[in-house]
């Protein structure tokens, strides 16, 4: 019988409820970047909407293919972030996958737009487009970038930028800042984040009960609902199911010929195809930088500003090569990976680690073989499917041979 994660039904219902609440609730709406200050926004009672999540849906539904050209016509390069071009193109085309999937008329209109450049500067241009379109107030956190370690001085800069958001939040929400509400959102986010980390860590066992390709679906709540009871409730259910599967030795594969780490963005329009490809070849893709990017173990409600500033500045994408190699090395060990695949994402320099020789350096350091696959998060013109399949299959064979010889 094919292995399936039953909690996906609960996930679907939860995501539906979330999207419907964006259209039907009388709460104010704040837009936020995926690793932006969602807890602060929630503490003002905003419903929080994440355009990157919409970008992922555009990619997964492949609507992105018809939206990107409209953004290019409007002056956006086809070589910049395809979340940005897909999302702007979808707006210009007056289309959204939310209509077909959840019955929403359109994307939710923002009362406030907030971004954090901890992941990239592209979000600033992207969100400014919508601020102008909706004549909506916009505010940003401009984080220090690419650090080896995050210093207390750098945290202090980000703390003060968080605090500077408060007047804009008060004005747009009509509520005064409430430190206790903020603490509670941080507490809930920490809980959800800890549970999400445990979910991911179940894949350290063999047979792994969850893959990277499942992870990108099940991460929905940690992105769009962190800071709420709903996210923690969901991850408790999912974790319970996966732990039970481990007890019964149920997992993705009966026999794992090899275990692989995925670095970089998902190729949203080919998730199912890739998932099947690896499983058919006996390979379990057990961990990723992407899914681990929503593990915020620094959140501490006793120090809500400092801990969220630290958590959001320390994320993988915002670190130096040295720090990234350290983190990757430790994940490769933790998940007992035999190989690593780097997705060289054409339109996202920020989340591609294959452009400046790091794969070769990490291979030298760890001895773990790697493969670079060229592709993109949303723009399938940059993904050569036939060629990639052949290269992935050859890579899996090589990993297996190496294991047999060892
Ligand atoms: S990190 Fe990459 S994919 Fe994400 S918004 Fe920035 S440029 Fe786009």
Q: Compute the Cα dihedral for 372, 276, 281, 292 and give only its sign.
A: positive
**Residue range(s) of every CATH 3.40.50.11900 domain in the chain:** 182-405
Q: What's the gap in Å between 4 CA and the centre of ligand 1? A: 30
182-405 folds as: Rossmann fold (3.40.50)
pLDDT one-digit tens code per residue, 148-195: 999 999 999 999 999 999 999 999 999 999 999 999 999 999 999 999
Q: Using CA atoms, how far apart are residues 404 and 19, in angstroms rounded to an integer?
A: 48
Q: Contact, 122 vs 130, CB < 8 A?
A: no
Looking at ligand 1, which residue's alpha carbon is closest to its atom 6? 120
- Cβ–ligand 1 contact at 81 (below 6 Å): yes
| Total Cβ atoms within 10 A of residue 4 | 10
Q: What's the gap in Å between 58 CA and the centre of ligand 1? A: 14
Specify the pLDDT at position 406.
72
pLDDT one-digit tens code per residue, 124-144: 999 999 999 999 999 999 999
DSSP 206: S
Mutate to test the pocket of ligand 1, among 68, 71, 123, 352 (most ligand atoms within 8 A of CB): 123
Tokens 């630290």 -> residue: 310
Class of domain 8-177: alpha beta
Q: Using CA atoms, how far apart are residues 44 and 179, in angstroms rounded to an integer?
A: 10
Q: Using CA atoms, how far apart are residues 84 and 68, in angstroms rounded to an integer?
A: 9
pLDDT one-digit tens code per residue, 254-297: 999 999 999 999 999 999 999 999 999 999 999 999 999 999 98
Q: Contact, 234 vs 10, CB < 8 A?
A: yes
Tokens 């294959």 -> residue: 354
Q: What's the gap in Å between 290 CA and the centre of ligand 1? A: 12
The residue among 225, 193, 160, 186 whose CA lies nearest residue 307 is 186
Q: What's the gap in Å between 102 CA and the centre of ligand 1? A: 25
Q: Checking DSSP bridges between strand 283-288 and strand 138-141, what pairing results, if any?
A: unpaired
pLDDT one-digit tens code per residue, 338-397: 999 999 999 999 999 999 999 999 999 999 999 999 999 999 999 999 999 999 999 999
Count Cα neighbours of 19 within 13 Å in the Cβ-side half-sphere: 22
pLDDT one-digit tens code per residue, 183-236: 999 999 999 999 999 999 999 999 999 999 999 999 999 999 999 999 999 999
**Residue range(s) of every CATH 3.40.50.11890 domain in the chain:** 8-177
Q: Contact, 358 vs 391, CB < 8 A?
A: no
DSSP H helices, 206-320, are: 212-218, 220-224, 229-247, 271-280, 289-292, 304-313
- Cβ–ligand 1 contact at 348 (below 6 Å): yes
User: Can you read off the two tokens belonging to residue 164?
Assistant: 């500077």
Tokens 């994940």 -> residue: 331
**What mean pLDDT do residues 12-23 have?**
97
Q: What's the gap in Å between 63 CA and the centre of ligand 1? A: 18
Mutate to test the pocket of ligand 1, among 317, 351, 353, 355 (most ligand atoms within 8 A of CB): 351
């Amino acid at each position: 019988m094919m292995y399936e994660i039953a909690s996906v039904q609960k996930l679907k219902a939860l995501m539906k409820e979330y999207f419907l609440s964006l259209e039907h609730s009388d709460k104010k709406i704040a837009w936020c970047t995926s690793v932006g200050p969602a807890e602060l926004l929630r503490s003002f009672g905003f419903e929080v909407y994440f355009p990157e999540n919409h970008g992922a849906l555009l990619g997964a539904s492949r609507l992105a293919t018809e939206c990107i050209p409209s953004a290019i016509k409007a002056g956006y390069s086809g070589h910049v972030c395809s979340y940005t071009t897909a999302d702007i193109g979808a707006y210009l085309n007056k289309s959204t996958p939310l209509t077909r999937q959840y019955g929403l008329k359109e994307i939710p209109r923002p009362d406030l737009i907030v971004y954090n450049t901890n992941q990239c500067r592209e979000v600033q241009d992207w969100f400014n487009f919508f601020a102008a379109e909706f004549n909506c107030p916009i505010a940003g956190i401009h984080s220090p970038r690419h650090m080896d370690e995050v210093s207390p001085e750098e945290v202090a800069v980000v703390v003060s930028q968080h605090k500077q958001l408060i007047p804009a939040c008060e004005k747009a929400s009509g509520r005064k800042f409430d430190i206790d509400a903020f603490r509670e959102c941080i507490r809930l986010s920490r809980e959800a984040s800890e549970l999400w980390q445990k979910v991911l860590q179940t894949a350290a066992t063999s047979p792994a009960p969850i893959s990277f390709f499942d992870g990108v679906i099940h991460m929905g709540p940690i992105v769009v609902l962190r800071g709420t009871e709903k996210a923690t409730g969901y991850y408790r259910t999912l974790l319970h199911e996966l732990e039970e599967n481990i007890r019964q030795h149920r997992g993705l594969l009966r026999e794992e010929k090899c275990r692989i780490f995925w670095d970089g963005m998902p190729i949203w329009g080919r998730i199912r195809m890739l998932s099947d490809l690896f499983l058919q070849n006996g390979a379990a893709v057990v961990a990723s930088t992407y899914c681990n990017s929503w593990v915020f173990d620094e959140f501490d409600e006793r120090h809500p500003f400092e801990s969220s500033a630290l958590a959001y500045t320390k994320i993988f994408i915002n670190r130096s090569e040295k720090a990234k190699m350290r983190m990757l090395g430790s994940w490769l060990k933790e998940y007992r990976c035999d190989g690593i695949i780097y997705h060289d994402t054409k339109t996202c320099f920020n989340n591609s680690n294959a452009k400046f020789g790091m794969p070769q350096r990490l291979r030298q350091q760890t001895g773990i073989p790697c493969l670079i696959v060229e592709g993109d998060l949303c723009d399938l013109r940059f993904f050569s499917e036939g060629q990639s399949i052949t290269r992935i299959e050859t890579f899996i064979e090589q990993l297996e041979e190496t294991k047999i010889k060892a």
